Amino acid sequence: AKKGVIEAQERYGWMCFKGEGGEKNVKAAAVFFKMARKNGSVNAIYGHASVLYEKAKLKGERSFYKASAQCFKRFLESSTAVSFKERVDSWESLISIYNFLGEEGGCSLCQASLNQEKEKKAENLRGLMEKISAGNQEVLFDCAERLLGEDEGVGSYALEIKKHLELSVEKRNGKAMFLYAKILLEGEGGAQELRKARFLFGKLARKGHFGAQGYYGLMCYQGIGGEQDYKKAEAYLKKSADKGNSTSQNTLALMYHYGLGVDKDLEEAGSYFVRAAKQGDVNEVYLIFYNNEDSEFSDEDPEPDDESSDFVEGDSYDSR
């Protein structure tokens, strides 16, 4: 994040805001969201607006409510190609803000925009389901990925998507099998089916499917959907890790660090921890045992100079 990687700035901002991997640090979140905004990130505008809105609710000051409203509006105006869930949250936050500020006109406009956006989303989804029923595999796979990504609205069609994927799996479609296994693992469209998910991941992994190798190795490592099997875990996690999967790299590093089913090898563990960390996936064991004081990775959150740095630079308030 400090090196200017936008995705890392966004992710680190949310980690600070939510208190993931450490104490909650709203000021640091604001710093990194602002950095990402300056680098052109639309999603960071939403993150910054969320920080301002939380401050507004904590402090009860109109100035923070106005600043957060301006930031949410800028996010909504920036692009329609962002997460539907985040857009809905932004409209709902604006409605609450205008209620607090006593501005009925702004509240009504936002409610009308929210209703319009929800109806447009529902109409779009109905059209997609019709295409899936007609046998469009590309649309089916796209909707399955959106379902796994927790795209609001798609969840109401989870059972239908799952049934169509199962039909494609019966025709031995590899992509359908991978998505179906993930849906079984997550329990979308019904209960989790862990043994079946592990079986399907294993089947794909043996054929060299990159994503399946990571999932299968992890399930063997954790004993999910079957017995714990460190030998298989190492074999498939290594295949996935060597192809760049950071989760597999960290898990394999833990195996070497603690000697779980393998000979303890701190040098090998450190190598995989570093490879994962360079992708922004920093494991706590890495920070404790492998991260020296001169390392480029630090767990210290930077602090802004003063409270005013939380405001949107150059923004003026407009309730229209």
Question: Which two structure tokens, joined as six digits, stand for 8?
Answer: 């890392």
Quote the pLDDT of residue 81: 59
Quote the pLDDT of residue 218: 98
Only one residue has tokens 């949310």, namely 14
Number of separate helices (H) and strands (E) present in the chain: 15, 0
In contact, 156 and 187? CB cutoff 8 Å: no
Quote the pLDDT of residue 80: 60
In contact, 231 and 261? CB cutoff 8 Å: yes
Per-domain residue ranges of the chain: 1-114, 210-293
Question: Which two structure tokens, joined as six digits, stand for 55?
Answer: 């401050």
Q: Can you tell me the distance from the alpha carbon of 26 to that of 237, in angstroms, rounded to the nearest whole number?
A: 36
Alpha-carbon distance values, 136 to 118, 162, 171 (Å):
24, 14, 14
One-letter amino acid at 65 equals Y
Q: What is the pLDDT of residues 269-284, one digit of tens each?
A: 999 999 999 987 889 8
- The distance from CA 55 to its chain's CA centroid, rounded to whole angstroms, is 23
Q: How far apart are the first and last CA of the chain?
A: 35
DSSP-based three-state secondary structure for 210 = helix
Quote the pLDDT of residue 291: 77
Quote the pLDDT of residue 292: 65
Please write down the HEC assignment for all residues of 110-166: HHHHHHHHHHHHHHHHHHHHHHHHCCCHHHHHHHHHHHHCCCCCHHHHHHHHHHHHH
Q: Can you tell me the distance from the alpha carbon of 90 to that of 88, in angstroms, rounded to the nearest whole number?
A: 5
Q: Can you tell me the distance from the alpha carbon of 220 to that of 237, in angstroms, rounded to the nearest whole number?
A: 9
Alpha-carbon distance values, 79 to 37, 69, 204, 259 (Å):
14, 17, 38, 49
Quote the pLDDT of residue 307: 41
Alpha-carbon distance values, 118 to 92, 93, 108, 153 (Å):
12, 15, 15, 9
In contact, 169 and 203? CB cutoff 8 Å: no
Question: Which two structure tokens, joined as six digits, stand for 236?
Answer: 């498939």
Tell me which residues of the chain have a pLDDT lower than 50. 293-299, 301-320
In contact, 249 and 276? CB cutoff 8 Å: yes
In contact, 47 and 28? CB cutoff 8 Å: no
* Dihedral of the alpha carbons of 203, 208, 211, 215, in degrees to the nearest 10: 50
Quote the pLDDT of residue 310: 42
In contact, 163 and 169? CB cutoff 8 Å: no
| DSSP single-letter state for residue 305 | S
Quote the pLDDT of residue 290: 86
Q: Can you tell me the distance from the alpha carbon of 117 to that of 111, in angstroms, rounded to the nearest whole number?
A: 10
